[in-house]
């Protein structure tokens, strides 16, 4: 592997070991997030001062970043197996932990930490089946109108991204995007990708790598103190077929660009 590919793969590997999103790393380097993606995909090389900052953040040397495949280095602590942290009440029933908007930025770092999860607000809804594990997320923005900003979405844990059902709405926790609520189309088997689509057509669909996904929660219910307005701000309402056609069209365009 040449030095260019070593640097890109090492940045991605070391970032994941830290449990950081691309945005987390970009914030620490005081650069824009897309530049981190360019580094990790080998489309751009970090400048010397950025490389030195990266080495310092990752607690390795710049020489190791350039010459060593750190993913095979036994001295580098590997990311632990995926563990779902939960809490229970006095009767040993699972709680629903609430991730408020203000806490969502830290969730990508603390989602597997039992102490972090323990500090989140908790509640229970007796009407939900006891066979599932649930978590609640307060959403921001208007990308999923008529679901309004501030609405709490209750999601059921999905163990494997391959089980995502096309066109259903999910809370997706990923390295690139953090916590988002979107309609998801599953292309994991074909491309290793998920396509995320907003119900508000002002927002363009986009793709994320399946291996960047930390957690997925299938939307099962929502709680809101606001009723949807009669005159929705959504520019147009798309049918499921129209959403599918839109995603397929985007997929074809992306495939053409990669050739």
Domain segments of the chain as ranges: 3-71, 96-258
Question: At the top level of CATH, which class does the domain 96-258 belong to?
Answer: mainly beta
CB within 8 Å of 254: residues ≥ 6 apart: 207
How high is the pLDDT of residue 193?
93
Q: What local confidence, expressed as pLDDT, does residue 225 receive?
A: 85
| 3-state class (DSSP) for residue 181 | strand
Name 117's Cβ contacts closer than 8 Å, sequence gap at least 6: 85, 86, 87, 97, 110, 111
Handedness of CA 68, 70, 74, 77 (dihedral sign): positive
- The pTM score is 0.60
CATH topology of domain 3-71: 434 Repressor (Amino-terminal Domain) (1.10.260)
Can you say how many angstroms the Cα of residue 184 is from the centroid of all Cα atoms in its chain?
Answer: 12
Tokens of 189: 């088997």
Side-chain-facing half-sphere of 86: CA atoms under 13 Å: 16
Cα 13 from Cα 246, distance rounded (Å): 33
> Phi and psi at residue 197, in whole multiples of 5°?
-125, 135
Both tokens of residue 209? 């790598």
Asked if residues 213 and 199 have their Cβ atoms less than 8 Å apart, the reply is no
Alpha-carbon gap, residue 125 to 97, rounded angstroms: 11
Q: Which stretches of the chain drop beneath a pLDDT of 50?
A: 78-81, 232-237
3-state helix, strand, coil in the chain (%, to 5): 35, 20, 40
Check if the beta carbon of residue 99 is closer than 8 Å to that of residue 135. Answer: yes
Which pLDDT does position 190 carry in this prediction? 86
Contact 223, 211 (CB under 8 A): no
Select from 99, 78, 5, 94 the least CA-distant residue to 44. Answer: 5
Q: What is the pLDDT of residue 239?
A: 59
Fold agreement (3-71, 96-258): no
Spatial separation of the C-alpha atoms in residues 71 and 162, rounded to whole Å: 25
């Amino acid at each position: 592997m040449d030095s260019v590919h070593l640097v890109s793969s090492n940045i991605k590997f070391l970032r994941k070991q830290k449990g950081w999103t691309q945005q987390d790393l970009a914030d620490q380097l005081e650069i824009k997030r897309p530049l981190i993606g360019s580094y990790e995909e080998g489309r751009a090389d970090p400048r010397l001062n950025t490389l030195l900052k990266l080495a310092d953040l990752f607690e390795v040397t710049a020489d190791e970043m350039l010459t060593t495949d750190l993913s095979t280095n036994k001295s580098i602590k590997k990311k632990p197996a995926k563990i779902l942290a939960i809490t229970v009440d006095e009767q040993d029933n699972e709680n629903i932990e609430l991730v408020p908007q203000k806490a969502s930025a830290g969730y990508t770092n603390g989602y597997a930490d039992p102490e972090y999860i323990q500090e989140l607000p908790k509640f229970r809804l007796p009407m939900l089946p006891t066979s599932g594990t649930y978590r609640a997320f307060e959403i921001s923005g208007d990308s999923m109108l008529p679901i309004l900003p501030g609405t709490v979405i209750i999601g059921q844990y999905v163990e494997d991204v391959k089980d995502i059902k096309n066109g259903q709405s999910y809370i997706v926790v990923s390295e690139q995007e953090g916590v988002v609520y979107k309609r998801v189309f599953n292309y994991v088997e074909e491309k290793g990708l998920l396509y995320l689509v907003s119900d508000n057509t002002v927002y363009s669909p986009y793709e994320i790598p399946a291996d960047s996904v930390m957690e997925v929660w299938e939307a099962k219910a929502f709680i809101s103190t606001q009723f949807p307005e009669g005159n929705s701000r959504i520019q147009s309402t798309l049918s499921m077929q129209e959403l599918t056609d839109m995603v397929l069209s985007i997929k074809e365009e992306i495939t053409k660009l990669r050739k």
